[in-house]
Structure 1
Amino acid sequence: MDPFEVRMQFLSLMRRLNASQPSIQKVVGYALKYFSRCGEDLWDCIIEECQKGSINHRINILYFLDSLCEACLQAKTHPSSIGYDGSSTNFYVDFVAQDLAKIVENVVPEGRQGLPNLSSTKQILSNWRNKRVIDPQKVDEVITTLNSRKSAEEEAPASTEAPSASSRLSKTDIFRRIEEDRERHKRLREKRWVQPVSHNPQSHLPPQLASFLPLTDDGDGEEELTLDIEFENEWETTSDWNEDDDDAVGEENVLCFPGEGEKPMDLS
């Protein structure tokens, strides 16, 4: 197919995109297959659909991008498998990083219209930050922008206008949104317990015990181990030792080492 036919067929797939994994993976596979021939053109199609699609369609595009980034990082170790002979590329991940603010602005437009997509968008952004899919600092900037917006409670008293016809959803659209939200949230729960996508070119080697793995840090970039990434994420979200921790330890000591006349804790 010539580039025009590739673009038109890709647009057709994008417009039929829904929350199901078969639908998402079909578009992901097509995008990777034609990356070497017209990757930039296909990315323009994605941005175009993200700008003019319905609010429900836009969140589907963001979930598609989540799967696309994951597939790109996995394909990075075997670029020839998708017909690309470049030595260093993140495929569409670089495009996502470049246009991240624009994408989020379209998926979560300001005002009440964007509220249905706000929570899911934040979850995906947090996932990209924690797994180092995109530069954490860049993701933090976008999340900060979202957090700075007014909440629905703040907007409600100031707005007395009725929703426009274009923003009202039919009963069918509402039920479709509920079903697709279930599918999307199921996918997020599944991925929450999966280790970060491996950026390590040695990932094809058999797994080793953690005690035999080399120490890495942020400065190692793509060489940083997923185990260290997970540890850093947990370390950053753990609070400092405080009085509540002292009280908890004291209560545990009382249960394990009771005073005179009291029975010890049953550890069986």
Structure 2
Amino acid sequence: MDPFEVRIQFLSLLRKLNASQQSIQKVVGFALKFYSGCGEDLWDCIVEECQKGSINNRINILYLLDSLCESSLLAKSHTGAAGATQDAGGSGGGGSLYVAYIARDLAKIVAYVVPEGRQGLPNLMSTKQILESWRAKRVLDPQQVGDVLATLDARRDSLEHAQAADPTSRAASASAPALPRVEVFKRIEEDRERHKRLRERRWVQPAAHGPHTALPPPLAAFLPLAHEDGEGHEETTLDIEFENEWETTSDWNEDDDEAAFEENALCFPAQDGEQEMDLS
């Protein structure tokens, strides 16, 4: 199949894309199969459809990229395990397949999926969920993903302030043409399918690291953190998940003191004539 035919078939698959895993995996398999000869052309097709497609098609493409990231990184891991003498990062951008393209054009893709104004609000929450997942799993550089998330939050805040300051803009946006009824029901069904998929993948089980394993374990994060000094062993998936929990844990406060006293009373109830243990 020549590159022109590959491009035509891929565009046809993208235009038929929906939220089902069968549809997504069909496109992912095609993209990986023809990556070696047409990878950059296929990526251009994805960006083009993300720019021109409807608001519903754009969020479908973002979920496609989520599966494409996972499949690309797993393919990279298996390739690295097959050649024991190959450097883990020696293949550069090509070693991670489409992940390098996604990292390069992340801001552009998100801008297409969540356009400015009220038009992009239906895709805002789902986009943030995917980006948060990528940041937690280290699929992409957490700092880069954080910058894109900050841009989305700033855009939403500016829209809310503009509507609060100018009531006429709220009325104008409310009178804007809405999606057709058929598209609304289609979006509801596809959102249900996507949310089911997200719930299935929400809990990531840590994998034990052993020096004698032949294949890399299913990592909780695809991109393990390295020590700042570059020495020692790489952090395990447990280290990564601990860091994620630590960053989202609030400081110790009075509520924590009360909870500790309650737990202590349940575990070690005071007997007659005894005084409670002083935890201060």
Does structure 1 residue 230 correspond to structure 2 residue 236?
no
Judge conservation of contact 1:107–1:114 (CA < 8 Å) in 2: yes
Structure 1 match to 2:150:
144
Does structure 1 residue 103 correspond to structure 2 residue 109?
yes
Does structure 1 residue 183 correspond to structure 2 residue 202?
no
Q: What amino acid is aligned across from residue 140 of structure 2 in structure 1?
A: I
> What do residues 12-64 of structure 1 show as CA deviations (whole Å, max 9, x unaligned)?
00000000000000000000000000100000000000001000000000000
Judge conservation of contact 1:70–1:197 (CA < 8 Å) in 2: no
Structure 1 match to 2:125:
119
Judge conservation of contact 1:131–1:196 (CA < 8 Å) in 2: no
> What do residues 138-197 of structure 1 show as CA deviations (whole Å, max 9, x unaligned)?
0000000011123565454341325444xx211111110000000111111111113489
Judge conservation of contact 2:77–2:216 (CA < 8 Å) in 1: no
Deviation at 1:257, TM superposition (A): 3.3
Does structure 1 residue 161 correspond to structure 2 residue 177?
no
> What do residues 225-260 of structure 1 show as CA deviations (whole Å, max 9, x unaligned)?
322221211111112222211111112223333345
Judge conservation of contact 2:7–2:42 (CA < 8 Å) in 1: yes
Does structure 1 residue 243 correspond to structure 2 residue 249?
no
Structure 2 match to 1:40:
40
Q: What amino acid is aligned across from residue 122 of structure 2 in structure 1?
A: P
Structure 2 match to 1:131:
137
Q: What amino acid is aligned across from residue 121 of structure 2 in structure 1?
A: L
> What do residues 63-118 of structure 1 show as CA deviations (whole Å, max 9, x unaligned)?
000000000000002349xxxx9844110000000000000001001111100110
Judge conservation of contact 1:20–1:180 (CA < 8 Å) in 2: yes
Seq. identity, % = 66
Range 222-231 or range 180-189, more displaced: 222-231
Judge conservation of contact 2:18–2:24 (CA < 8 Å) in 1: yes
Judge conservation of contact 1:74–1:197 (CA < 8 Å) in 2: no
Structure 1: distance between partners of 2:11 and 2:205: 32
Structure 2: distance between partners of 1:71 and 1:197: 18
Deviation at 1:261, TM superposition (A): 5.6
Gaps of 5+ in 1: 208-214, 263-268
**Residues matched between the structures, number:** 249
Structure 2: distance between partners of 1:186 and 1:203: 33
Does structure 1 residue 192 correspond to structure 2 residue 202?
yes
Structure 2: distance between partners of 1:235 and 1:242: 16
Structure 2: distance between partners of 1:216 and 1:39: 28
RMSD: 3.1
Structure 2: distance between partners of 1:93 and 1:15: 22
Does structure 1 residue 172 correspond to structure 2 residue 178?
no
> TM-score normalized by structure 2?
0.79
Q: What amino acid is aligned across from residue 144 of structure 1 in structure 2?
A: A
Judge conservation of contact 2:227–2:234 (CA < 8 Å) in 1: no
Say if 1:139 and 1:201 are closer, same or farther in 2 by CA, change over 3 A.
farther
Structure 2: distance between partners of 1:196 and 1:94: 25
